[in-house]
Amino acid sequence: MKTKLMGVAEYALSELKKLGADGADVSVSYGCSDGLQADYGVMSLMQTSIGASISIRALVGGRRGNYAMNGIDGESVDLAVRSAIEAAEVAEPDEAEVIAEGFGDYDYELGPREGVPEKLYDRAQEFLDDCAREYPKIAVEKLGTSFNASHGVYANSNGSRYYGRGGSYRFYAGFAARDGDKVSPGSGFSYADYDLDKPALAREYGRRVLGDCVRQLDPAPMEGKFSGKLLLSPECFQSVLSMALSLGASDGPMIMDISPWKDKIGEVVASECLTVTCDPFDPRLISPPRMSDGHILKTQEVIKGGKLTSFMLSRYGALKTKLPRAKCSSCAIVRPGGRSVKDILADIDDGLLLNDFTGGSPAPNGDFSLVARHSFRIRRGEVGEAVNETMISGNIFDMMKNIVGISSETVDDGCLMPWAAFEGVTISGK
């Protein structure tokens, strides 16, 4: 497969050059998957997918054009090449639009080449049986298991030739708790792994979400408004941290010069207990990227002891802002703290355990107003009743400075994050 995909990429590069491209990069991918799905607790669907795609970025006189499509036959590739060139020809020249320097050849393979079909069925049925026995109030709406195999190449006009092959299983379950006429909000969890050897319920994350779901059958609206502490689950902490890093350190706000962190390298932007590293090589990650933006990724520290050590700029963003390019801006991992979740919880007199939220994006200055989901009231160090119609509001950058605890425990099911507690957030209800 590598030879075939690389051949397509080489052909596209050659044609792009003939049509006047000064530089180009081409990505070609092929994937296939087999999946099984249960609906409403019963096996119901088997699916097979095959797909190939190409995407091209062409530079003509410093002007960039992009084109992407499914299909990698000769006719499709010719169309993709012509369309990318046409797009480039109408753009403005931009000196920050460059092709990444060549890195030569780079190959990697992760995960099995083929899945075991029986595992898809056995794990799915096992989860349904386990749930029915251990969580009788849980109604599984949708459950899926799949094996996904992918091959991808990247080639650019500066000599980079990259090939990656990945194979992994995916499990997902969506469910709600029901008891008579009562129903909880819909919930779920998913994970990827190189095998399906362990039952889904062997994962702490899955059991936590199922248990929380049952406890949401009897939610109570929050009354009033107060400034309190939030204890964020690892998954929720990941979402909040992503919002802060996106608004403070990523291309858009930095190029437009509206990031509150724009001149804060070396300065305190968060509580000193926060250290964030982007590490695509952490062995706990399943099928992490090895290449992005035309570069082979390397480990990148972003925040150390609360001080901003790097922005998360792409090559384009780096050239626009004249700041260093990030060696990696994905796979963010937070260093665990020194206290247990139990100890951190014990310090919260009045607050909220926030498992998820919905709402609009924060404002450029970090102000946010969100609705708590799957969340519980905390009083005197104990997690209490589920809440609904509960809002949280504050400022995401202030939150980063108001971290009062990061747990020693982390969740390893994809997000590699600890629990974290914050103070000074407005919590309001009816």
User: Which residues in 260-319 contact other proteins (CB under 8 A)?
Assistant: none
161 makes contact with other proteins (CB under 8 A): no
Within 176-235, the residues that bind other proteins by CB under 8 A are: 176, 178, 181, 183-186, 219, 224-225
Interacting span for other proteins (CB under 8 A) from 52-60, 305-313, 340-348, 401-409: 52-60
- Regarding 393 and contact with other proteins (CB under 8 A), the answer is yes
- Tell me the C-alpha distance between 26 and 57, whole Å: 7
DSSP lists the bridge partners of residue 387 as 220
Name the one range near other proteins by CB under 8 A: 160-168, 174-182, 195-203, 332-340. 174-182
Q: What is the nearest approach in angstroms of other proteins to the Cβ of residue 358?
A: 5
Of the residues 101, 109, 218, 389, which one makes contact with other proteins according to CB under 8 A: 389
* Closer to other proteins by Cβ: residue 333 or 392: 392
Strand pairing report for 350-354 and 225-232: parallel
CA 97 to chain centre: 26
Cβ distance to other proteins smaller for residue 90 or 113 = 90
Residue 64 engages other proteins in binding (rule: CB under 8 A): yes
The answer for residues whose C-beta is within 8 angstroms of residue 412's C-beta and 6 or more apart is 284
User: Using CB under 8 A, which residues numbered 141 to 160 contact other proteins?
Assistant: 141-142
Find out whether 222 and 387 touch, Cβ atoms under 8 Å: yes
CB 12 within 8 A of CB 81: yes
Q: How open is the CA angle 356-143-184, to the nearest 5 degrees?
A: 45
Is 402 or 407 the residue whose CB approaches other proteins more closely? 402
Task: Assess 426 for contact with other proteins (CB under 8 A).
Answer: yes
Q: Nearer Cβ to other proteins, position 71 or 289?
A: 71
Q: Whole-number minimum distance, CB 143 to other proteins, in Å?
A: 12
List of residues 6+ apart from 133 with CB closer than 8 A: none
Give least dist CB 333 to other proteins, A. Answer: 25
Select 39 or 204, whichever has its Cβ closest to other proteins: 39
What is the smallest separation between the CB atom of 357 and other proteins, expressed in angstroms?
A: 9
* Nearer Cβ to other proteins (225/284): 225
Question: Which 3-state string (H, E, C) describes 49-87?
Answer: EEEEEEEEEEEECCEEEEEEEECCCHHHHHHHHHHHHHH
**Shortest distance, position 170 Cβ to other proteins, whole Å:** 11
Could you tell me if 72 and 8 are in contact, meaning their C-beta atoms sit under 8 angstroms apart?
A: yes
Which of 144, 141, 143, 161 has the alpha carbon at shortest distance from 152?
Answer: 161
398 near other proteins, judged by CB under 8 A: no
| Helix or strand (DSSP H, E) at 401 | helix 396-401
- The interface with other proteins within residues 71-100 (CB under 8 A) comprises 71, 73, 83, 86-92, 94, 96
Nearest to 152 by CA among 79, 85, 58, 72: 72
Q: Using CB under 8 A, which of 147, 163, 368, 419 touches other proteins?
A: 368
Half-sphere exposure in the Cβ direction for 349 (13 Å, CA): 4
With contact defined as beta carbons under 8 Å apart, do 59 and 98 qualify?
yes
Q: Which residues contact 14 (CB under 8 A, 6 or more apart)?
A: none
Q: Which stretch binds other proteins (CB under 8 A): 334-342, 362-370, 377-385, 406-414?
A: 362-370
